Amino acid sequence: MEEKVCTMQDLGPGDMIERTFSGKSIIICRSDQGIYAFLNRCPHQGALLSKGKIGGSPAATKNPGEYCFQREGEILRCPWHGREFDITDGGNTLTPDRSKLKEFMIKIEGEDVIVSTERKKSKAAQA
């Protein structure tokens, strides 16, 4: 199943919008690199991710006390407990805990953003 959910004009880098696909609430997120679709439900306790925020995050570092903020527009934080999900990496969390968002395939035709039922595998799952 495929469905047009929005156009590229509907959101810029760092934005997120909520749409319905196949009867389910989903979010479309855009970074500088691409556009992504996820189920609008946090895998932790089920918060609506559309109420969260896309931003950046301090990079992992070997030096306690060092904050290196990066990846602006690529990290989605849940509105409840604030867990961080990498939208450019299949919705994997930034911790080693293996939980991830449910991602949908997406393709762009002209200006149209089209979502399909098939779920992408995360990089970790493909490896």
Partner 1 sequence: MKEFDGKTCRLIDADIHEKVTYADLLPYLGQPWKRYIADANWVQEKHMPYTQPAVAGVNRADAMLPDGRDAGSDLPFMREQLLDACGHDIGILTGALDPSPSSMHGWYEMAATLATAYNDWQIEHWLEKEERLYGSIHIAAQDPKTAVEEIERIGGHPKMLQVLLPIDDIAWGDPMYHPIYEAAEKHDLVIGMHHNEPPVQFGKWPRYFIEWHALIPTSHMIQVTNMILNGVFEKYPKLKVMMIEGGFTYVPFLMKKLDQQYKDLRHEVPWVTKMPSETIKNHFCFTTQPLEEMTKREWNNLVEQMGTDDIIVFSTDYPHWDYDSPEQALPNGLSEEVRHKIMVENALRFYPKLKRRDM
Kindly list the residues in this chain that would bind partner 1 in the complex (CB under 8 A). 44-48, 51-53, 77-82
Q: How far is the CB of 57 from partner 1 (least distance, A)?
A: 12
Residue 71 binds: one of partner 1, ligand FES, none (C-beta under 5 to 8 A by kind): none
**Residue 42 binds to ligand FES (criterion: CB under 6 A):** yes
7, 22, 33, 45: residue in contact with ligand FES (rule CB under 6 A): 45
Q: Binding residue for ligand FES (CB under 6 A) from 24, 53, 81, 121?
A: 81
For residue 109, the cross-strand partners are 112
Burial of 37 (0-12, 13-18, 19+ CB in 10 A): buried
Residue 10 contacts which entry, ligand FES, partner 1, none (Cβ below 5-8 A, type-dependent): none
- 102 contact, one of ligand FES, partner 1, none, CB 5-8 Å limit per kind: none
- Residue closer to partner 1 by CB (options 11, 48) is 48
The region that residue 19 occupies, defined by phi over 0 for left and psi between -120 and 50 for alpha, beta otherwise, is beta
Radius of gyration of the chain (CA): 14
Residues facing residue 36 across a β-bridge: 29
Cα–Cα separations (whole angstroms), residue 2 to 94, 106, 111, 118: 30, 9, 15, 9
Chain contacts with ligand FES (rule: CB under 6 A): 42, 44-45, 47, 78, 80-81, 83
